[in-house]
Amino acid sequence: MFEGFDEFDIATSQTTIHGVRGGSGPPVLLLHGIPESHLMWHRIAPALAERFTVVATDLRGYGASGKPPSSPDHEPYRMRTIAADQVQVMAALGFDRFAVVGHDRGARCAYRMALDHPAAVSHLAVLDIVPTGEAYTRADADFSLGFWVWSFLAAPEPIPEKMIAAAPQVLVDHMLDAWSRVPGVFPERVRAAYTAAFADPDTVHAICEQYRAAATLDVADDLADRGHRRIACPTLVLWSATGPVGQWYDPLEVWKAWAPDVRGGPVQAGHFLPEEAPEETLRHLLELLT
């Protein structure tokens, strides 16, 4: 699936990050969303590796990366903290400056990285999101019903953890099937890997803590930055042509408040752009990166 890529586990200041590396050329970091892991890039990474050094990691709490203990304020799962992991990983691999492409939760990590570590991020691509603070401050009835997973996973411990433990496959299948538009797009071995991760109590707790941090710390960080700090690098914004991000927002206009150099548009796919529309997604990424 990642032929020619090498696996790694790199210790950061707070945890260990698992990932793969392949190719040669300018470095590009790929970050996944929920309920996935670095495996979501299996249709994109090999093609990118023909021109770039490609690094795809599991975010803290996901996949084979570490799941450090949390705290009452959820600080260990704040996006600012998760972004710092990834900067340290790239530095350990010898890359002080790199492009970053993020989908869903990985996109939230990516734009936070661009804000907090502008010297490290040369190019930014965010797939099918608006900033966390924008999503919460604009939330309405459509948001509460369409993005119910945000509220469910952010509910007080141990409510979502116990409920997911009873039927992890139900939640994973819902996210993969309800949010996608291309039938059969997820290979069985990949779907099985995502489901197995949600059967691990430590993984589920870490993911819930991330959503709790999103609703509190990440929103506060975004609101503190909005209008005061902007993303300095060229930024690509892609979103599903049929999904809620394009229906509820004008994504380019939203992102123009955060970055002066913004481009992008809708992709003919559901939420999982790199898996459902790899050729179109790759074309946009190459235009940004080259």
Catalytic machinery residues: 104, 271
6-11: strand order across its sheet: 6-11, 16-23, 53-57, 27-31, 98-103, 121-127, 235-240, 262-267
3-class DSSP state of 57: strand
Determine the Cα–Cα distance for residues 282 and 30; give it in Å rounded to an integer: 12
3-class DSSP state of 8: strand
Q: For residue 169, which amino acid is it?
A: Q
| CA neighbor of 176 nearest in space, from 164, 188, 160, 163 | 188
Q: Contact at 8 Å (CB) between 44 and 278?
A: yes
Determine the Cα–Cα distance for residues 251 and 239; give it in Å rounded to an integer: 8
Residues whose CB falls within 8 Å of the CB of residue 84, separated by 6 or more in sequence, listed in order: 12, 13, 116, 117
Determine the Cα–Cα distance for residues 212 and 204; give it in Å rounded to an integer: 12
